[in-house]
Amino acid sequence: MRLGILCLLLLVLCSLLPALDFGLVLDQNANYGDLGNDTNFTYEGILLPRLSGLLGDNGGFYVSAGLSYESGPWAFVPELLRTDMYWYFGAMEITMGRMFYSDPLGFIAAGLFDGGHFSYIGPAGTFSAGAWYTGLLNKKRAVIEMTPNELAHNNTNIDYNDFVNTYFAPRRVLAALDWEHQGFMRYSLLKLSLLGQFDLSGENLNSQYLAGKILIPAGRVIFDLGGCVELLQNTGDFDTGFAADLGVAWQSSAQRLALLGRYSSASFLPINTIPQGHIMEYKLSGISFISLDYTAKLHRTFSLGLSSFYFMNSPTVGNLEQAGRFLGAEFYGALYWSPFSDLSLTVGGGAFLPSLGNMTPDAKNLWRVDMNIVFSLY
Burial string for 188-227 (b: 16+ CB within 10 Å, else e) reads ebbbbbbbebebebebebbbebebbbbbbeeeeebebebb
pLDDT of residue 17: 47
**pLDDT reading at 248 higher than 70:** yes
15 domain-assigned = no
Question: How many domains does one find in the chain?
Answer: 1
Does residue 134 form part of some domain? yes
- Report pLDDT digits (tens) over 93-149: 999 999 999 999 999 999 999 999 999 999 999 999 999 999 999 999 999 999 999
**Does residue 322 have a pLDDT over 80?**
no
The per-residue DSSP string of 346-360 comes to: EEEEEEEEGGGSSSS
d(CA 288, CA 311): 6
Nearest to 172 by CA among 152, 150, 154, 194: 150
Question: What is the per-residue pLDDT for 378?
Answer: 74
Q: What ranges make up the beta strands (E) of 123-163?
A: 125-133
Q: Is residue 17 part of a domain?
A: no
Our CA angle for 353, 356, 361, nearest 5°, is 85
Q: Is residue 7's pLDDT more than 50?
A: no
CATH number for the domain harbouring residue 159: 2.40.160.100
Domain membership flag for residue 1 = no
Report the C-alpha gap between 170 and 173 in whole angstroms: 10
Task: Tell me the pLDDT of the chain averaged across its residues.
Answer: 90
Q: Is the pLDDT of residue 6 over 50?
A: no
| pLDDT the model gives residue 8 | 45
Picking from 221, 250, 126, 119, the residue whose alpha carbon sits closest to that of residue 183 is 126
Inform me whether the pLDDT recorded for 319 exceeds 80: no
Beta strands in 265-301 (DSSP E): 287-297
Q: Does the pLDDT at position 314 exceed 60?
A: yes
Has residue 245 been placed in a domain? yes
Are the C-beta atoms of 9 and 15 separated by less than 8 Å? no
Q: Is there a domain that residue 44 lies in?
A: yes
Query: CB–CB of 373/342 below 8 Å?
Result: no
What does the pLDDT read at residue 318?
60
- Dihedral sign of CA atoms 164, 169, 170, 174 in order: negative
Give the domain extent around 122.
Answer: 23-377
pLDDT tops 60 at residue 16: no
Residue 5 domain-assigned?
no
pLDDT digits (tens, 9 = 90+) for 17-34: 456 889 999 999 999 999
Asked if residue 120 is part of any domain, the answer here is yes
- Model pLDDT, residue 317: 64
Contacts of 256 (CB under 8 A, 6+ apart): 249, 250, 293, 294, 295, 296
